[in-house]
Amino acid sequence: MSALDTTTLADALAQLFALRARGADPYLDAKAALRAGSGEVLRAYAHIRDALAPGQRVLDWGCRHGAMSWLARRDVGANLELHGCDVCDAHEYADCHALSGLVYRRIEHPWRLDYADESFDTIVAAGTLEHVPNDGESLTELWRVLKPDGALVVTHLPNAGSWSEWLSRRWFPAQAHARRYRLAAFRERLLHHGFEPQRWGRHQLMPASLPASLLRHRGVARAVDAIQPLNALENVWPLRALAATLWIVARKRRGF
């Protein structure tokens, strides 16, 4: 695949963000408010794109507004069959899903998915696994609907050692994650559930979004944008232990 065109994809993200009125979605507001927010999404997508190819059938699990699907559409092209599922009603993000040509289906069960066995070539789980009621049952279900040798790409998995997660728990508990993971242990869990980890790493040493109460201070927002180059150190020991999230690409094991 050709080099990632970050300029074009940044413009595409801005187009997606513009669909939502300010205040309608706090998550999108936070991403749109800072250059760092869009940059973080693009950097996360870079881990996903190597698992994508024209002609694939792709599931964006927990898609919400479908930012990763929209980037995939713009990056890979029209010859990509995009499906998405989440717990929200279809009308909530219908405009976003229409933009990317994503076929949306609402999830009606804590972990069961209304798709046939071996339905997808690639499954993207971008900031989803840590929120589901039972991550083990969900991994089993993702294995079921993924084709043999298909790719599962997990991004934005909260890192147990994250310094920003520690600050959130202390000062902004509503934004902290109740479930956090260690990379080595999560790789073992994937093996237990029938996946073979292929590539992995840490993501986002420096925060890319802020609580709304802090975004009102322009100096703070400018500072967050200014420190983003330090994310080049996110996989350098020992700083990598402090990164905000983890990412991993795994393949479905045959004969499991």
pLDDT in tens, 199-231: 999 999 998 877 766 666 778 878 888 999 999
pLDDT at 37: 84
pLDDT at 41: 94
For residue 133, what are its two tokens? 């009621």
Scan for tokens 């690409």, then name that residue: 249
Q: Which amino acid is at 132?
A: V
pLDDT at 22 over 70: no
The domain locations on the chain are 6-252
Query: CA 106 to CA 173: how far, in whole Å?
Result: 28
Mean pLDDT, the chain, whole residue set: 92
Strands 120-126 and 146-158: parallel
Scan for tokens 């309608």, then name that residue: 24
pLDDT at 219: 81
- Based on C-alpha coordinates, what's the Rg of the chain? 18
pLDDT at 127: 95
pLDDT at 173: 80
Query: CA 95 to CA 3: how far, in whole Å?
Result: 29
Q: Answer yes or no: are the C-beta atoms of 64 and 88 closer than 8 Å.
A: yes
pLDDT at 215: 64
- pLDDT interval class at 1 (50, 70, 90): low
Phi first, then psi: give them for residue 229, nearest 5 degrees. -55, -20
Sign, CA torsion 223/225/229/232: positive
pLDDT at 220: 82
- CA 162 centroid distance within chain: 17
- What's the rounded mean pLDDT across residues 179-189? 97
Condensed to tens digits (0 to 9), the pLDDT of residues 97-154 reads: 999 999 999 999 999 999 999 999 999 999 999 999 999 999 999 999 999 999 999 9
- pLDDT interval class at 172 (50, 70, 90): confident
Q: What percentage of residues in the chain have a pLDDT greater than 90?
A: 77
pLDDT at 174: 77
Higher confidence at residue 236 or residue 176? 236
pLDDT at 23: 54
Query: CA 152 to CA 146: how far, in whole Å?
Result: 8
Query: CA 155 to CA 51: how far, in whole Å?
Result: 13
- pLDDT interval class at 84 (50, 70, 90): very high
Among 15-29, 39-53, 159-173, 197-211, which range has the highest average pLDDT? 39-53
- CA 188 centroid distance within chain: 21
pLDDT at 30: 67
Higher confidence at residue 96 or residue 208? 96
> Does residue 238 have a cis peptide bond before it, meaning omega lies within 30 degrees of 0?
yes
Query: CA 256 to CA 243: how far, in whole Å?
Result: 32
Q: Answer yes or no: are the C-beta atoms of 148 and 122 closer than 8 Å.
A: no
Q: What is the DSSP letter of 76?
A: H
The mean-pLDDT minimum among 75-84, 165-174, 234-243 falls in 165-174
Condensed to tens digits (0 to 9), the pLDDT of residues 3-14 reads: 889 999 999 999
Phi first, then psi: give them for residue 99, nearest 5 degrees. -60, -40
Q: Nearest-CA neighbor of 69 among 141, 147, 13, 8?
A: 13
Strands 103-106 and 81-86: parallel
- Look up the CATH architecture of domain 6-252: 3-Layer(aba) Sandwich (3.40)
For residue 80, what are its two tokens? 């990509």
pLDDT at 181: 98
CA distances from 36 to 10, 70, 95, 167, 228 (A): 11, 19, 24, 19, 7
